[in-house]
């Protein structure tokens, strides 16, 4: 993985989603994998949200979250690492907008704007997805970005139903996971 071309760590926002199996456990497993990526530090994690799927494929509801990371990797290197995590966790190629065991999407990578066959940054569909913007709002660091996210949420209205996930309703493991408080810095953040 290349880190030599990046002068300092970039603030990266990564979307996570799952609608197969133990959805909450899938998110926590992905977070555990992400926290072990060399050159990548997990800073904040949003609460988990639940939403109906987007697209024409009938399927179950998604759980979603956003992780704020400090990354010393190049965007394509992080993308390839996230794709490897998806494969390791058992994700298989499927129909577009179909069910997913785990879905990891690079949303924002600092101020990077990129358009290639493999990756587009910022994520081209994020501004129109309430299930991305609500958890993103929980972890954004800058006031400027927070205002931008709020403006997009206001424009979207409430047509897309998204709510905070309450794991006590179905016995899921949303509260089990790495020792990281949602919406706050990890205990290790100060020592990195």
Question: Which range is least confidently modeled, 26-35, 130-139, 157-166?
Answer: 157-166
pLDDT band at 10 (very low <50, low <70, confident <90, very high): very high
User: Tell me, what's the pLDDT at 168?
Assistant: 54
- Phi, psi dihedrals of residue 142, rounded to the nearest 5°: -95, 145
Q: Which two tokens stand for residue 160?
A: 């897309």
Residue 86 lies in a domain: yes
> Is 103 a catalytic site residue?
yes
At 89-123, the pLDDT tens digits run 998 878 777 899 999 999 999 999 999 999 999 99
pTM summary value: 0.84
Q: Tell me the pLDDT tens digit for each residue of 136-151.
A: 999 999 999 999 999 9
Q: Is 100 a catalytic residue?
A: yes
**According to the model, what pLDDT value does residue 138 have?**
96
Question: Known catalytic residue: 72?
Answer: no
Domain annotation covers residue 24: yes
Note the residue count of the chain.
192
Beta bridge partners of 17: 64, 103
d(CA 99, CA 59): 6
Q: Pick the catalytic residue: 23, 44, 77, 105? A: 105
142 found inside a domain:
yes
Average confidence score pLDDT of the chain:
85
The number of folded domains in the chain is: 1
Residue 46 lies in a domain: yes
Q: Give me the domain span that covers residue 19.
A: 10-164
Choice among 77, 103, 129, 138 that is catalytic: 103
Residue 56 falls inside a structural domain: yes
In a domain, 181, yes or no: no
Q: Taking residues 166-190, report their average pLDDT.
A: 43
Number of C-beta neighbours around residue 52 at 10 A: 13
Tell me whether residue 5 is one of the annotated catalytic residues: no
CATH for 119: 3.30.70.560
């Amino acid at each position: 993985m290349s880190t030599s071309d990046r002068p300092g760590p970039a603030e990266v926002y990564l979307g996570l989603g799952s609608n197969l199996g133990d959805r909450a456990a899938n998110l926590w497993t992905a977070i555990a994998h992400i926290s072990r990526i060399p050159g990548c530090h997990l800073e904040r994690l949003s609460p988990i949200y639940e939403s109906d799927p987007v697209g024409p494929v009938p399927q179950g509801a998604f759980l979603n979250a956003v992780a704020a990371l400090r990354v010393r990797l190049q965007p394509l290197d992080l993308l390839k690492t996230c794709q490897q995590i998806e494969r390791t966790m058992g994700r298989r190629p499927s129909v577009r907008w179909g069910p997913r065991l785990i879905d990891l999407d690079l949303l924002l990578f600092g101020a990077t704007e990129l358009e290639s066959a493999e990756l587009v940054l910022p994520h081209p569909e994020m501004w129109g997805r309430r299930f991305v913007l609500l958890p993103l709002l929980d972890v954004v660091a800058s006031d400027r970005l927070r205002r931008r996210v709020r403006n997009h949420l206001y424009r979207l209205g409430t047509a897309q139903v998204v709510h905070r996930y309450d794991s006590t309703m179905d016995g899921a493991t949303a509260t089990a996971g790495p020792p990281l408080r949602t919406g706050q810095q990890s205990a290790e953040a100060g020592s990195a």
